Amino acid sequence: MTAVPHPTIALLQSSSLTSVVQQEIERAILAGEYAPGSKLNEAVLAEKLGVSRGPVREAFRMLDEAGLVRTEKNRGVFVRDIPVSEALEIFDLRAAMDEWVGKRLATSIADADLKEIKAMVADMDKAVKAQDARQYHVLNLKFHDRMVEMTGNRKFTDIYRKLIKELSLFRRQNLADSALMRTFLNEHKRIVKAIGSGNAQVAANAMYDHVMQSRQRTIDNDLRQQAQAKAAGTEAH
């Protein structure tokens, strides 16, 4: 006779499975495997991941709370398409947060941690030379995430990660521009140098400026895309 799991154990097993499913769907979304605005099919994902539809449904709920998908009644679940206005709000928040990160690390970073972020910048340099936008994107996210993690403030890190995941839905298209990768890389080099100098204000300014310059590039890109769309519409008529 098959033993029935204790209710608590059954709950933990279910919770663990849902978490794994949620993490895999999130990974796929952030990796660009599902484009913004695309519909996520519960049955297809359940079959693909080898699970029942329950964990997928619960994973959708968690991803909705995380701001990565939106659920529309009677229509389904869709990968969120972040509008420019919302992306700019996130940039403003991130600028203030990164300013604090720079100030904190300049006065507290361990030698081993400084060496680690220098190595990350060196890896990004290799990705730029190879014109590998995908690898650069992964390294870019890791670079900023590790610096936040190095502050030692777990609550701050959790909030920061949620914002970055939402912004990642919007920014992948910008980071795919190979011409901009070199610009981003130079800004990262400036950040590491500033943190290594031990000057809190210089490091804070380097972090803040990097985010605000990214914000301005986002505005410029959007205006350019609008102009191209308008021109294409005019030609069509």
Domain shared by 157 and 219, yes or no:
yes
Domain shared by 74 and 89, yes or no:
no
Domain shared by 128 and 96, yes or no:
yes
Q: Whole-angstrom Cα distance, residue 176 to residue 134?
A: 7
Q: What's the gap between Cα 150 and its chain centre?
A: 18
Whether the predicted model's global pTM rises above the 0.85 cut? no
Per-residue pLDDT at 185: 94
Q: Whole-angstrom Cα distance, residue 86 to residue 98?
A: 18
Query: How many distinct structural domains can be found in the chain?
Result: 2
Domain shared by 23 and 88, yes or no:
no
CATH of the domain at 194: 1.20.120.530
Spatial CB neighbours of 188, under 8 Å, sequence gap ≥ 6: 121, 124, 140, 143, 210
Reported as a single tens digit per residue, the pLDDT across 74-88 is 899 999 988 899 999
Residue 120 located in a structural domain: yes
Tell me the percentage of the chain whose pLDDT exceeds 90.
Answer: 59
Residue 1 located in a structural domain: no
Task: Check residue 38 and report its DSSP letter.
Answer: P
Residue 24 located in a structural domain: yes
CATH of the domain at 68: 1.10.10.10
Range of the domain at 176: 84-236
